[in-house]
Structures are given as C-alpha cells and as structure tokens.
Structure 1
Amino acid sequence: MNVSFEKSINTTIEWLTPPDLVKKLGDFDLDPCTPVNPPFVHAKTNFNINDDGLQKQWFGRVYMNPPYGKGMEKWMEKLKIHGNGIALIFARTETKCFFNHIWNDAHAVLFVKGRIKFYNTDGEQKGTPGAPSILIAYGKENADLLEQAHIEGKFIRLK
C-alpha cells in the first residue's frame, strides 16, 4: 500500500497571513500572535512570544493566526472564551481542536478556496502550506463581516 502525505518544503510554525487578506476582514484591536519583528501588523495592539499572549488579557476584536503545531488548541480555546474575533488555521476539521472549540462554539467558518500564499518574517511570500486554510469567526458581528469579506471560498454559518 502506497500512502502519500503532503508536506510543505518550508516547515515552520510562523506562517504570516497576507496583509490584503486581513484587510478584507476589517479593523482589529488585538493580534496576540505577532512575530517579534513583524514585517507588517494586523491590529492596533500586537503581542509577540516575549509578551506571552496566552497569559495576557485579551480585549476588543481579535485577529489570530496562532502558532501551528502543538499548543494551537490553547489559542483556539482562549479565542472561543473571548468570543470576539477571527482566527485562521488549517482546515483539519476532524481534529479534537475542531470538535472542542469550533464546530459547536464558532458562529461561522469560511473554507478558503485554494491555498493561501503566506509570508515569512522577512516580509516575503514563502509559498503555500501543505494543507488548506479556514477562517473561523466568533461572535455574530464577526460572522457577518466574514460573510461580506469577498474572500473566495465556502462560507458556512454555524449559529
């Protein structure tokens, strides 16, 4: 039996969201997962690894592209509890994280058509990851904004 798994050549936990994509979602008050020396920012206030965004108090409308890999579920849980924001993660809908924090708690999801071309911390596009992406909205207003964002894909309202 021949089994093939898609894997990105540039494996890293820092996949920076294209600024144009985030601008379509509106203005954000906080990004708790910003790189230490970001080439661009997505929110008025930005926490990096040195700030330990998981331990900080979140406020306002949050945009979050959490660190990929182990520990991502903690970030999704915190956004779920905060209840006001949009997250971008891999569309791995069968995972424990999806069942614990998204399917029954998010207000809407948008499965992004195609693969997003992410950026590296130098501000250069680095290509596409080895999995499709999904935007997840917590809060009715964020669901409405996600639906109206004109991002190609399949929008599904969950609440």
Structure 2
Amino acid sequence: MKNDEWLTPPEIIEALGEFDLDPCSPGARRPWDTAKEHYGVSDDGLTKLWNGRVWLNPPYGREAAAWLDRLAEHGNGIALIFARTETDMFFRHVWERADAILFLRGRLHFHFVTGERAKANSGAPSCLVAYGLNNVWALDRSGLDGRLVILNQSEVA
C-alpha cells in the first residue's frame, strides 16, 4: 500500500524554532507537533486562513506548487521540498520568490505517522526554503548540515 503521509524528521523542526501553523499536518495522528496549530487533510489547509510563521512540508508532486505559491504570498515561513532546482515549480516559487534556500547534506529519512523512521531515505535531495528575513536567520542559525544560499540580497543586507 502506498503511503502519502510522511512526517518531517523532528530534529529539523527543533533546529528551526517554533512555528505558528502547519497547514499540511497529518492532523491528530502525529507523534510530535510541528507548530502550535495544525490543519489536517480534511481541513483543506490550502484554503484556510494562515497566520504567523508557517511550517510547510507540502504534499509532494504537482500539487506542491500551489502550496509554495500560498507560502510565498504569505511571506513568513519555511518549506521542506525536494531540491529539484531545474523544475518550473522551483523557478517560479523558489528562485524567483524565496529569500534563501538551505540545501541539506545527504538525503532525509522521513517518518511514518506512527513516528517510526522510514528505513529508506527520501530518494532525492531536500532543501529548506525561507520566505521572510526571520526565516533566513532561522536557517542560518539552525546548525543543520548543508549550504545556505541567500537569494534576496537586498532584504538580508
């Protein structure tokens, strides 16, 4: 059976600080919190009101673009996505709109909704995408292993 719900490794969330909202949460079936407030699949977090600092681990695939568009419009949050830098989605929602990217070293091991760590890695490199200066600073101070690329030099200077 195919699994479409994967949890962010808890050490990523811990390294980035507190978030106000996770609009792509597995809802009540989560072993750890990623934010103060969570919207599950049945809540349709894409259409609900977003407030504060947002953590976004969107559904992967074509629908991820809509979530990144919403986060870019919101302007305050961090997204965890595959580092597929050549895609139209990456160009439109990351290269052209984000403030910074942290390219993570190696491949992540996501977790099942039970909390159990997946045996296999994610199958592709991942990155954290920051929207808003406070989130650029969070990536810079996170201690996560990777390379930070600042995209919006004028805002950071």
Give the secondary structure class of the aligned counterpart of 1:119: coil
> By how many angstroms is 1:12 displaced?
3.6
Equivalent pairs, count: 150
Letter of the structure 2 residue corresponding to residue 40 of structure 1: W
Q: Give the whole-Å Cα distance in 2 for the aligned partners of 1:135 and 1:94.
A: 16
Partner of residue 148, structure 2: 155
TM-score, normalising length from structure 2? 0.92
CA deviations on 1:92-118 (whole Å, 9 max, x unpaired) are 001111111110110100000011111
Q: Give the Å deviation of 1:11.
A: 5.7
- After TM superposition, the score normalised by the length of structure 1 is 0.91
Runs of 4+ in 1 over 4 A off after TM superposition: none
Residue 93 (structure 1) aligns with: 85
> Which stretches in structure 1 are left out of the alignment for 5+ residues?
1-9
Aligned position for 1:35: 26
Name the CA distance, whole Å, in 1 between partners of 2:117 and 2:84: 23
1:24/1:149 contact within 8 Å kept: yes
- Structural mapping, 1:108-119, within 5 Å: 108-119=100-111
Q: Which residue of 2 aligns with 1:14?
A: 5
Structure with a larger share of its residues in helix: 2
Q: Deviations over 1:1-50 (max 9, x none)?
A: xxxxxxxxx96432211111111001100000000311212100000001
Aligned residues of 1:107 and 1:138 also touching (Cα < 8 A): yes
1:5 maps to what in 2? none
Q: Give yes or no for contact 1:17–1:119 (8 Å, CA) kept in 2.
A: yes
**SS of residue matched to 1:14:** coil
In structure 2, what is the Cα distance between the partners aligned to 1:109 and 1:11? 30
Q: Give the counterpart of 1:62 among 54, 58, 67.
A: 54
